[in-house]
Amino acid sequence: MHIKSRNAATSITNRYIYMHNGSILSANQHDWLHAEASSLPMVGWLAQPLFVAELAGDDVYLQVLCSSAISALGAHHGREMMAILPSAQADLLARALQLSHWLRDHQHCGRCGKPTQLHKSDYGMHCSTCLHTQYPRLSPCIIVVITGPKGMLLAHNTR
């Protein structure tokens, strides 16, 4: 997965991830990258597809659809799908989930409470009233190894 500027999407092939309330909308868990933009209604706070990242030369976009789309497509839990996908696809899906949650939760300014809009040139929700811009939170992680005279401690997530 390659993350480039939101405005740098230039590939010939576009793919789309359809979401609603953190669920991935698709006929089944293996066909979740769609070849065409959905004609189903999108939520008001994200009225156009949002560039997520590049995967294998294809630009991938997020579409957050209204609840009426759930009946047309099956809803699959995003975190469960990440457990069965190859690493690059799981990373892409995780980024799309993070962006959709961030966009949903930052529709209003954290300072003045007025509605925000997606910034024109980067990932930020901008308030035109107080000029505050909110960006997605970065959550870095660390990997630690604990060694002893007879070996090292290994642990893993249950997923």
Domains of the chain: 1-105 (3.90.79.20), 107-159 (no CATH)
What pLDDT, on the 0 to 100 scale, is given for residue 48? 84
Closest CA to 18 of 53, 64, 84: 64
CA distance 127 to 111: 9
pTM of the model: 0.76
Alpha helices in 65-153 (DSSP H): 69-72, 78-84, 87-105
pLDDT category of residue 24 using cuts at 50, 70 and 90: very high
CA distance 61 to 27: 18
Tens digit of pLDDT for each residue in 93-138? 999 999 999 988 999 999 999 999 988 888 889 999 999 999 988 7
pLDDT category of residue 149 using cuts at 50, 70 and 90: very high
Contacts of 43 (CB under 8 A, 6+ apart): 64, 65, 66
What pLDDT, on the 0 to 100 scale, is given for residue 137? 81
154 pLDDT more than 60: yes
User: How much is the average pLDDT of 148-155?
Assistant: 87
**In the block, residue with structure tokens 């099956």:** 74
pLDDT category of residue 144 using cuts at 50, 70 and 90: confident
Average pLDDT, the chain: 85
What pLDDT, on the 0 to 100 scale, is given for residue 8? 52
Structure tokens at 61: 């976009």
159 pLDDT more than 60: no
Tens digit of pLDDT for each residue in 73-90? 888 998 889 989 999 999
